[in-house]
Amino acid sequence: MAAPVNHDTIVLERLYDASPARVFQAFADPEARMGWGAPSSSTGLVYDEADFRVGGLDISRCGPKSNLIYRVETRYHDIVPEQRIIWTEVVSEGANRLSFSLITVEIKAAQGGTKLTLTDQIAAFGGASMIEGSRAGFNAALDNLHAELART
């Protein structure tokens, strides 16, 4: 029998000292995402395909820099420029699907900058460790985005 699926919802918030347009662009542009999307300096994120539009598909690989073992398939479901992006992502390792997430990023002008809320509604296959992995990964990436926005 297939193991039961673990479902969870992760909500992360950040306040960025940048305009909603710049924050939106950091998500819309795959080149920019490669700069901040990997959780640490020892991990990598490479986009093989990118198509940022409703119905479009991105294919990326991530993991330790020397061994990008995870494949991520991203499909965009809703895009409202400078306000909202909704996508699903499937994370696999070889033939094994590890998790499937519905992710909503909401972007709002706040306190002279931008408030970002990321909601990750995740279904994890074969154990709950992918839920904590997903939380840690997005937490680190959103922190990196802070540095990226301050730098550019």
Whole-number minimum distance, CB 65 to other proteins, in Å? 28
28 vs 68: CA distance, rounded Å: 22
Whole-number minimum distance, CB 78 to other proteins, in Å? 5
Residue 18 pairs in a beta bridge with none
Q: Which of 80/110 has CB closer to other proteins?
A: 80
Task: Compute CA 122 distance to the chain's CA centroid, rounded to the nearest angstrom.
Answer: 12
Q: Which of 29/78 has CB closer to other proteins?
A: 78
| Cα distances (Å, whole numbers) of residue 34 to 2, 28, 46, 61, 111 | 34, 11, 6, 10, 28
Whole-number minimum distance, CB 94 to other proteins, in Å? 14
Q: Which of 106/143 has CB closer to other proteins?
A: 106
Whole-number minimum distance, CB 90 to other proteins, in Å? 5
Report yes or no: 16 and 143 within 8 Å, Cβ to Cβ.
no
What is the contact surface with other proteins in residues (CB under 8 A)?
A: 1-2, 4-5, 7, 9, 11, 75, 77-78, 80, 83-84, 86, 88, 90, 97, 100-102, 104, 106, 119, 121-123, 125
Report yes or no: 56 and 78 within 8 Å, Cβ to Cβ.
no
Question: Residues for the chain: how many in total?
Answer: 152
